[in-house]
Chain A
Amino acid sequence: MSIPEEEIIRRCREVFGEPLDAERRASLASLLDTLGRANLEIVDVLEGDSEPMGHAAVLRSARHDG
């Protein structure tokens, strides 16, 4: 998720009505960079049959002895 600074400025102006100052843009870019790298790692380890709605099924499948 390495997003060009111009895109961050454009999007912030569109949503928040302001482009953000340089310090806050840098902080945002740093967080997005971390999440972007994590996303690449996640894509590497995802199995073919993992699907986005699978979590609830995993919870339901757990032993229930209450």
Chain B
Amino acid sequence: MTDELTLLSAAEIARRVRAKELSAVEAAEAFLGRAEKVGPELNTWITLDREGALKGARAVDEAVTQGKNPGPLAGVPVGLKDLIDVAGLRTTAGSQIYRDNMAKEDAPITRMIRKAGAVILGKLNLHEFAFGPTGHNPHYGDQKNPWDTERVTGGSSGGSGNAVATAQASITIGSDTGGSIRIPASLCGTIGHKPTFGLVTKAACFPLSWSLDSFGPLAASAEDAALMMSAIAGPDPSDPSSLQMPAPDFAGAIGTPLTGLRVGHARNYYTDQSDPEVVKGVEEAARALSDAGAQVTEVEIPDLNLAYDACSTFMLAETAAVHEKHLRECADDMDPWVVERTRAGFFIPATAYIQAQRFRAQWTARVLKEVFGKVDLVLTAATPIPAPLRTADKVTVQGKEYGARLHLIALTRHINFLGFPSTGFPTGFNSEGLPLGAQLIGAPFQDHRTLAAVDQLEKSGAINVKISPFEG
């Protein structure tokens, strides 16, 4: 049975800890118990740090006892994708090449999370080097979907997704380069927020593609994701990609009614390539937004195919640069599929990389003007399909065959290219009992508005995160 404590929202855990109605140690024990019970079967964790978590929890309880403010995430048990340095724990990046890579210091994002009072349970499994949308991992085990363990979690933040979906952690941190937060959120049925590029520090986090990587939360509610964003958003001088912009007021935005909010429904973005049940879920979300007072209109995003290919060009080039040493010296130690995907980057001419960068700036400015000049948020599906089988190479959608892996990123990659914020949320389940997902995309630094809109959908009862009953 799922411990009732693990079903509390992060906001409620923090409130009870601050009010001395619950100790941080009790909360940590409840989530650790759940993680130890179901984590191994779902291949959720690479390192579960019971000792460190309880030490952190005791420090929070001590602060409460001494009358100090333990922070907005007081005693909230969290898990971090294993790309993020935590002092004294290894950072494997999901690769056996880094199986003994001990971190000496916390990454800045880790420090921020601790400062907010959260308790770090450990490091979460992922697709090797975050370079894959499924959560397959030959070194630490394929991350399994708790709604059907024969299916993928989505990736690359697969452990971050199945941890939240099974209440092994209250909030997790994932990274999103082409959809790696929103894809597992969609396939596991959770909230997942990809922040505006440069809003959340990625210093001392293992890179996949410097120009596209964003780190953000997966959670069981938009309010909890916003709570985490309050802790981790903002300028970081140690991160060269930080845009040095002030964080939005997340707490102030939660609870804002949808009345008057302009939402563009971008059907041209997803309907042709999506499963009909996915389309139906997004249509219902559009109706719910309208019923709650939003003005929902049709919008069209221009030049989607060109943007997709331009994004591929420079992501492949950057990823090849990140992994050149690995490929030259120890490619045999890597997942052959990851090696295969990385190869193409060595053949991208410098001119094509630069033209793609130029196009990115031009296209982003155009979308900002032509789309976000008319609406505040854009609604689309998050993934065109529910979770495919772990053994599936191909999927058929509306009579057309696609590669299963690459089709998972068909609706997320463009948003990384734009660098805009996007909150993924569940729209329900399909006829096979698998979660379906949508996303609300905002203009730069409007992260608080995408989260607040999803929060309103939850509070209206139109959508909700359901914790999987998986017991192993």
* Chain A residues in the interface with B (C-beta under 8 A): 1, 3, 8, 11-12, 15-17, 20, 24, 28, 31-32, 34-36, 38-39, 41-43, 45-47, 50-60, 62-64, 66
How many residues of chain B have a CB within 8 Å of chain A? Answer: 52
Please tell me which one of the listed residues A8, A46, A60 contacts residue B359 in the complex, with CB atoms under 8 A apart. Answer: A46
Given contacts A3-B347, A38-B306, A59-B364, contact A66 B445 (CB under 8 A): yes
Which of B142-150, B200-208, B242-250, B381-389 is near enough to bind chain A? B242-250
Q: How far is the CA of A59 from the CA of B305 in the complex (A)?
A: 22
Residues of A contacting B196 with CB < 8 Å?
A: 59
Residues of B contacting A8 with CB < 8 Å?
A: 347
Residues of B contacting A50 with CB < 8 Å?
A: 358-359, 361-362
The answer, yes or no, to whether B310 is at the interface (CB within 8 Å) is yes
Considering only CB atoms, which chain B residue lies closest to A49 in the complex?
A: B362
CB atoms of A1 and B354 under 8 A apart: no
Distance (whole angstroms) from the CB of A9 to the closest CB of chain B: 12
The answer, yes or no, to whether B365 is at the interface (CB within 8 Å) is yes
Which of B69-77, B96-104, B261-269, B338-346 is near enough to bind chain A? B338-346
CB atoms of A66 and B358 under 8 A apart: no
B47-64 CB contacts (< 8 Å) to partner A: none
Considering only CB atoms, which chain A residue lies closest to B358 in the complex?
A: A50
Question: 10 closest pairs, A vs B, by CB?
Answer: A66-B248, A54-B361, A38-B309, A52-B357, A62-B444, A50-B358, A55-B361, A59-B444, A50-B362, A39-B352
Q: How far is the CA of A66 from the CA of B351 in the complex (A)?
A: 38
Residues of A contacting B313 with CB < 8 Å?
A: 35, 38-39
Q: How far is the CA of A8 from the CA of B344 in the complex (A)?
A: 10
CB atoms of A35 and B249 under 8 A apart: no
* Chain B residues in the interface with A (C-beta under 8 A): 196-198, 211, 243, 245-249, 253, 303, 305-306, 309-310, 312-313, 316, 324, 327-328, 331, 339-340, 343-344, 346-349, 351-352, 354-362, 364-365, 368, 419, 443-448
Residues of A contacting B211 with CB < 8 Å?
A: 55
CB atoms of A55 and B364 under 8 A apart: yes
CB atoms of A1 and B352 under 8 A apart: yes
Q: How far is the CA of A54 from the CA of B363 in the complex (A)?
A: 11
Residues of A contacting B309 with CB < 8 Å?
A: 34-35, 38
Residues of B contacting A24 with CB < 8 Å?
A: 340
Residues of A contacting B249 with CB < 8 Å?
A: 66
Given contacts A35-B312, A52-B361, A55-B364, contact A11 B247 (CB under 8 A): no
CB atoms of A60 and B245 under 8 A apart: yes
- A and B contact pairs by CB, cutoff 8 A, 17 listed: A15-B324, A15-B328, A35-B313, A38-B313, A39-B351, A39-B355, A42-B358, A45-B306, A46-B358, A51-B358, A53-B357, A54-B358, A54-B365, A59-B445, A60-B245, A63-B443, A66-B447
CB atoms of B361 and A51 under 8 A apart: yes
Distance (whole angstroms) from the CB of A56 to the closest CB of chain B: 6
Q: How far is the CA of A34 from the CA of B349 in the complex (A)?
A: 14
